[in-house]
Structure 1
Amino acid sequence: MWVKTLGLDKPVIAVTMGDPAGSGPEITLKALKDQSLFDESKIILVGDLKVFKRALQIVKEEGLEFVEIKKPSEACDAPKKVNIINLDNVELEKLQYGKASSLGGKAAYESIVKSVNYALSKEVHAVVTAPISKESLNLAGYNYPGHTELLAALTGVKDVKMMLVAGAFKVVHVTTHVSLREALNLIKKESVLKTIEVTYNNLVDLFRIPRPKIAVSGLNPHAGESGLFGREEIDEIAPAIKESNLKGIDASGPYPPDTIFYRAYYNKQFDAVIAMLHDQGHIAMKMVGFMEGVNLSLGLPIIRTSPDHGTVWGKAGKGTGSESATLEAIKLAISLSKKKFNLEK
């Protein structure tokens, strides 16, 4: 049963602080200048108030005012009133912009844990995570390859897939944060089939696409050229596609990697593309959605989005980082929350 807070007609969205030495706090506040976010949702920042106050001085977003609350049910949705749950866990004098540290990693981790727990306890509809530093996390003793793996551990899920979104263009990866050599060994029928199924289920359940068309990329040049350049397409990928078809999923391929993304993005022939490798999917996405790409985690028991970029160390403390991807991440979290929880007017 949802708590009383979520009986309202607006989604409640928790936004994490990210690494306090990065651009996350600044670009989050820059994104909040978009009035539509306040019209469509209740935004709650989860992090250190001192960090956000300093970020506000840097970006000079006039009119924004912080409202400190103790729990999500106290959130207001008044224009330019920014709710914040103050974790008070950063010593600013010990923090250096653009530099990884155990202090930054610990603060970022605590913000994520608090936000995820709010989602698991059904006090917020979705979580938007600001960029973190993997180095900072590890310095703080939290040894995770990235956000996705950390979120999987916090929610008790083993298999989470990364979907990149830029408008109608969606890419899901079979493998992500492993070496290329290891990734090649992970391209198996079972892993490809699982990715197809998770993609299909989320396109139907979250995006409300009744019968999505899914394209599956090959691994080798020209999708193996009938086995001349490798047998993964024949032995692993094609059988996975065939089995998904038997389950009623409209998946096709394997297609040559150098053309399928063009067909999906420019010709709009598919609702999503399954990429075999991290860079295979990321390069395609960032060529067309570098400034507004969003990462959506598939397989978690919560809705989680994030901007598809890192901490932007070089612009931290300067207020010059682009807020486009963060804005799109918040908008996607709002849209998916409305669909999932029947909050659409």
Structure 2
Amino acid sequence: MAKQPAKPLALTLGEPAGIGPDITIAAWLKRRELDLPAFYLLGDEALIARRAKALGAAVRIASVTTGEAEAAFPEALPVVASGEPASAAPGKPDASSAPAALASIRQAVTDVREGRAGAVVTNPIAKSVLYRAGFRHPGHTEFLAELAAEDGPTPQPVMMLWSPRLAVVPVTIHVSLRDALAQLTSELIVSTVRIVATELKSRFGIANPRIAISGLNPHAGEDGSLGHEEQTVIAPAIKTLRGDGIEAKGPLPADTMFHEAARNSYDCAVCMYHDQALIPIKTVAFDDAVNVTLGLPFIRTSPDHGTAFDIAGTGKANPASLIAALRLASRMAAAKTR
């Protein structure tokens, strides 16, 4: 059995009307079969009980404190109250959705930072629901960075999508393509890759990470004939990274970076914008890819899918990505304690 972290994992509720409750219940039911690490859900026990009934799931739910969660886990799904009730029906977010989702995230971060949990694992949120309630962040990643800054400087969060077959990082994240081009600088590429290299060593156990860096333009600019960013922005960043002792190669044409032989030549692909990175991994690892936030003072993983309102409460939701997120969080937390 793989080394387990010293503390249970804090799992957030996510959007109460989405599939977060469904996949949480499904994952807990597979805990023995798959030897899953202990986790507890931060949320509303009554909501989870209603969802279990709708799913016809034979699950025992235990309302516990954080300190009681690990002992309860083998026999019951531990639920720690987040202080915000959630009344939303499956597929129908309501006024309780945003407060319940955000309270769960805040408490999970607090639990990890105060040593009660080993890592944060987040269920999917519905950003449109949060925006209507006044949420001002582009997504989970940026909100977590703000929470991490409560006791210090704001960190640079780096979004990694990880699977056993491929790991990718976009340099620019939740912005329009036009804004991504405006944001892209050599300095941003360098700071992003430094964080990736550091955490591949410290939390993934890769002694000498190999990092492939994409170009921005078709065919990596064709030596300047299809764009100059490879020469003026990306290549200087790679030179700096190599000077740091980081094994970085590129800029590489993005359209030839992701076939099987190419994937075997690196540990992580760093791409210039969101879709350039996420389309490949969602093609090859849609069900088991994990969203990992690097650069934070705590570990955070998440399923790499959305709230799936259309299938919430139907029993059709696949827990594979959540299970992968729990396992990866456990692995990273155990590595951190060595």
Provide TM-score, normalisation by structure 1: 0.91
Tell me how far 1:316 sits from its aligned partner.
1.2
1:261 positional shift: 1.9
The residue aligned with 1:208 is: 205
Structure 2 match to 1:145 = 138
Match of 1:131 among 118, 121, 124: 124
User: In the alignment, what sits opposite 1:4?
Assistant: none
Residue 38 of structure 1 contacts residue 77 of structure 1 at CA under 8 Å; is this kept in 2? no
Do residues 103 (structure 1) and 99 (structure 2) align? no
Rounded Cα–Cα distance in structure 1 between residues aligned with 2:90 and 2:69: 32
> What SS class does the counterpart of residue 332 from structure 2 fall into?
helix
Query: For residue 131 of structure 1, what is the amino acid of its counterpart?
Result: P
Instruction: Return closer, same or farther for 1:67/1:53 CA change in 2, 3 Å cut-off.
Output: same
Percent identical across equivalent pairs? 37
Report if the CA contact (8 A) 1:214-1:273 is conserved: yes
Q: Distance in 2 between matches of 1:21 and 1:51?
A: 10
- 1:325 alignment partner in structure 2: 321
Structure 2 match to 1:13: 9
* Matches of 1:215 and 1:108, distance apart in 2: 36
TM-superposition CA deviations, 1:19-58 (whole Å, max 9, x none): 1111111111111222358855321110000111122223
Q: Does 1:54 align with 2:47?
A: no
Structure 1 pair 77–337 and aligned structure 2 pair: CA distance change class (3 A): farther
CA distance in 2, matches of 1:201, 1:88: 36
Aligned-partner Cα distance in 1 for 2:37–2:166: 24
Where do 1:267-306 residues align within 5 Å?
A: 267-306=263-302
Matched, 1:314 2:307: no
The one of 224, 228, 240 equivalent to 1:227 is: 224
Paired residue secondary structure (2:47): helix
Q: Aligned AA for 1:30?
A: A
Map 1:68-87 to 2 at 5 A: 68-72=63-67, 75-76=70-71, 78-87=73-82
CA contact (8 A) 1:291 1:324 kept: yes
Aligned amino acid, residue 133 of structure 1: A
Letter in 2 for 1:141: G
Give the aligned residue type for 1:70.
T
| 2:192 counterpart of 1:195 | yes
Counterpart CA distance in 2 for 1:248 and 1:82 is 46
Deviates more, 1:313-322 or 1:116-125: 313-322
SS of equivalent residue, structure 1 residue 67: strand
CA contact 1:30–1:59 (8 Å) conserved in 2: no
SS in structure 2 of the partner of residue 35 of structure 1: coil
Q: 2: CA distance between counterparts of 1:204 and 1:13?
A: 22
**1:30 is aligned to 2:17:** no
CA RMSD of aligned residues (A): 1.9
Q: 1:77 to 1:48 in 2, by over 3 A?
A: closer
Alpha-carbon spacing, 1:78–1:123, altered in 2? closer, same or farther (3 Å): closer
Aligned-partner Cα distance in 1 for 2:160–2:33 = 23
1:329 Cα offset (Å)? 0.6
Letter in 2 for 1:169: L
Q: Distance in 2 between matches of 1:74 and 1:54?
A: 21
Residue 101 of structure 1: how far off its partner (Å): 3.6
Deviations 1:279-324 (A, max 9, x none): 1111011000111111000111110000011111111121211111
1:218 aligns with: 215
The residue aligned with 2:110 is 117
Helix, strand or coil for the counterpart of 2:39? strand
Match of 2:318, SS?
Answer: coil
Q: For residue 164 of structure 1, what is the aligned residue in structure 2?
A: 161
Unaligned runs of 5+ in 1: 1-7
How far apart are residue 140 of structure 1 and its match? 2.2
Using the TM superposition, name which of 162-171 and 53-62 deviates more. Answer: 53-62
Distance 2:333 2:165 in 1: 17
Aligned AA (2:28): L
Letter in 2 for 1:340: K
C-alpha offsets along residues 179-236 of structure 1, whole Å, 9 cap, x if unaligned? 1101011121001111111110010010010001000011000000100000100001
**Secondary structure class of the residue paired with 1:311:** coil
SS of 2:259 mapped into structure 1: helix
Supply the distance in 2 between the matched residues of 1:103 and 1:89 (Cα, whole angstroms): 8
Equivalent-residue separation in structure 1 for 2:218 and 2:228 (angstroms): 11
User: Alpha-carbon deviation of 1:263?
Assistant: 5.0
Q: How many residues align?
A: 331
Matched, 1:179 2:176: yes
TM-score (structure 2 length as normaliser): 0.93
- Which ranges of structure 2 fall in alignment gaps of 5 or more residues? none
